[in-house]
């Protein structure tokens, strides 16, 4: 099962045309579906910390679901909202180079007003398709995300319901499901923030995990009878074990003009002297890093299906000339962002089971 299948299957249960029920969830019992997405909640967390999750532990779980690569928020949420893989929707990571921009980097979460979000991510979202077919779709999340380029690129079509405190989050979710057919997408990022700053298993992270379970309990208690409540995530997280600063006492910046992506999944852009021989850069990186990372050319990454079976021209132009994927607890630090990236304890983006496997649970309210 893949993250790309979740939204399509749930909307299929509400009657959305041209979608497939790959989850085999059948027809929506009451025409009301709520998807609670917890940023940073890996599949292993549900079992490892079951004693802290009395509400979430009681849901019925589908086998762990795979995220797309890289296992990061911008890529995963767009995969969820469009039902297609990154090679098609073009959201290839936390940051990527903007083609023909003179080397400008787009931060997918913070965005850039010079980039049109509807052109950058042109695949129609399941949200806008559903709204066009008479399904009420709401996006419940913090108010600060409402007008961002990322929200326009990834969640356009939904009625945005801003909520900065848990009481408002619950109230807005209940309101979103007042009529039928309806779908409410509810997003919280407290666990991801705690993981980045203090690490998985830290006191702050454990407190955030307990809070997430309490929020889920409060939402479920207020849902209209017969509503199906789903929980999933965008990625898991690992704690850093080894930091490698690119170009610091190593040859990893030789021939490199720009570094993008994130510490666990790097897009590496080469200068003109190496553009025609990316294999030499791959060889240098692999020789130095050994089993601490997997490094490939763009062509090999595409051939392997890393970004999905289909890769558009836009995606090829945005993608790094070299792709580097960290292994174990290694992080590859961009020297231009060394202070910020080195300060983070928790990271994600790579292909370990901890990062790429997410939960999918469901409960039908009574």
Q: How confident is the model at residue 299 (pLDDT cuts 50, 70, 90)?
A: very high
Residues 6+ apart with CB under 8 A from 144: none
Percent of the residues in the chain that have a pLDDT greater than 70, as a whole number: 100
Q: Output the CA torsion sign for 203, 204, 208, 214.
A: positive
Contact 173, 222 (CB under 8 A): yes
Burial (CB count within 10 angstroms: exposed 0-12, middle 13-18, buried 19+), residue 139: buried
3-84+123-239+351-364 and 242-343: same fold? no
| Residue 139 · residue 158 · CB < 8 Å | yes
Give the pLDDT band of residue 235 (cuts 50, 70, 90): very high
Residue 211 clears pLDDT 90, i.e. is over it: yes
User: What is the pLDDT averaged over residues 335-342?
Assistant: 96
Measure the CA angle with vertex 50, ends 44 and 51; round to 5°.
150
For the purposes of burial, counting CB atoms within 10 Å of the CB of 53, is it exposed (0-12), middle (13-18) or buried (19 or more)?
buried
41-91 residue pLDDT tens: 999 999 999 999 999 999 999 888 999 999 999 999 999 999 999 999 999
SS3 label, residue 25: coil
H-run or E-run covering 120: helix 117-120
Average pLDDT over residues 105-129: 97
Q: Are 75 and 247 in contact (CB under 8 A)?
A: no
Query: What is the average pLDDT across 94-101?
Result: 97
Is residue 366's pLDDT more than 80?
no
* Half-sphere exposure (Cβ direction) of 172: Cα atoms closer than 13 Å: 24
When pLDDT is cut at 50, 70 and 90, the band that residue 98 belongs to is very high
CATH for 242-343, options being 1.10.1740.10, 3.30.1360.180, 3.40.50.300, 3.60.20.10: 3.30.1360.180
Superfamily of 3-84+123-239+351-364 according to CATH: Alkaline Phosphatase, subunit A (3.40.720.10)
Sequence ranges of the domains in the chain: 3-84+123-239+351-364, 242-343
pLDDT above 90 as % of the chain? 98
Which residues lie across from 269 on neighbouring strands?
258
* Burial class for 137, CB neighbours closer than 10 Å (0-12, 13-18, 19+): buried
**Cis geometry, peptide bond prior to residue 10 (ω within 30 degrees of 0):** no
């Amino acid at each position: 099962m893949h993250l790309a299948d979740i939204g399509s299957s749930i909307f299929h249960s509400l009657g959305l045309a041209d979608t497939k029920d790959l989850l085999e969830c059948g027809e929506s019992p009451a025409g009301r579906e709520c998807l609670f997405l917890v940023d940073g909640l890996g599949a292993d967390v549900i079992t490892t910390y079951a004693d802290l999750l009395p509400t979430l532990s009681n849901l019925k779980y589908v086998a762990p679901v795979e995220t797309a690569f890289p296992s990061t928020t911008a890529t995963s949420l767009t995969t969820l909202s469009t039902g297609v893989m990154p090679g098609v929707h073009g959201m290839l990571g936390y940051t990527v180079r903007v083609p023909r921009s003179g080397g400008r980097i787009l931060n997918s979460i913070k965005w850039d007003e010079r980039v049109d979000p509807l052109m950058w991510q042109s695949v129609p979202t399941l949200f806008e398709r559903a709204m066009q077919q008479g399904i009420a779709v709401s996006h419940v999340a913090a108010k600060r995300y409402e007008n961002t380029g990322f929200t326009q690129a990834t969640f356009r079509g939904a009625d945005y319901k801003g909520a900065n405190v848990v009481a408002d989050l619950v109230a807005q979710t209940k309101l979103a499901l007042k009529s039928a057919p309806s779908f409410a997408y509810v997003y919280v990022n407290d666990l991801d923030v705690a993981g980045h700053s203090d690490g998985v298993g830290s006191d702050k992270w454990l407190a955030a995990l307990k809070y997430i379970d309490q929020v889920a309990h409060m939402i479920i208690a207020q849902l209209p009878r017969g509503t199906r409540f789903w929980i999933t995530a965008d990625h898991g997280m690992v704690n850093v074990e080894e930091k490698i600063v690119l170009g610091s006492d190593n040859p990893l910046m030789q021939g490199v003009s720009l570094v993008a992506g994130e510490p666990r999944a790097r897009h590496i852009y080469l200068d003109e002297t190496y553009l025609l021989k990316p294999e030499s850069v791959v060889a240098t990186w692999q020789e130095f890093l050994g089993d601490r990372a997997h490094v490939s050319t763009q062509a090999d990454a595409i051939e392997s299906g890393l970004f999905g079976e289909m890769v558009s021209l836009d995606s090829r132009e945005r993608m790094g000339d070299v792709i580097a994927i960290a292994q174990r607890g290694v992080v590859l630090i961009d020297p231009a962002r060394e202070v910020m990236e080195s300060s983070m304890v928790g990271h994600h983006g790579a292909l370990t089971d901890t990062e790429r496997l997410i939960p999918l649970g469901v409960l039908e309210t009574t």
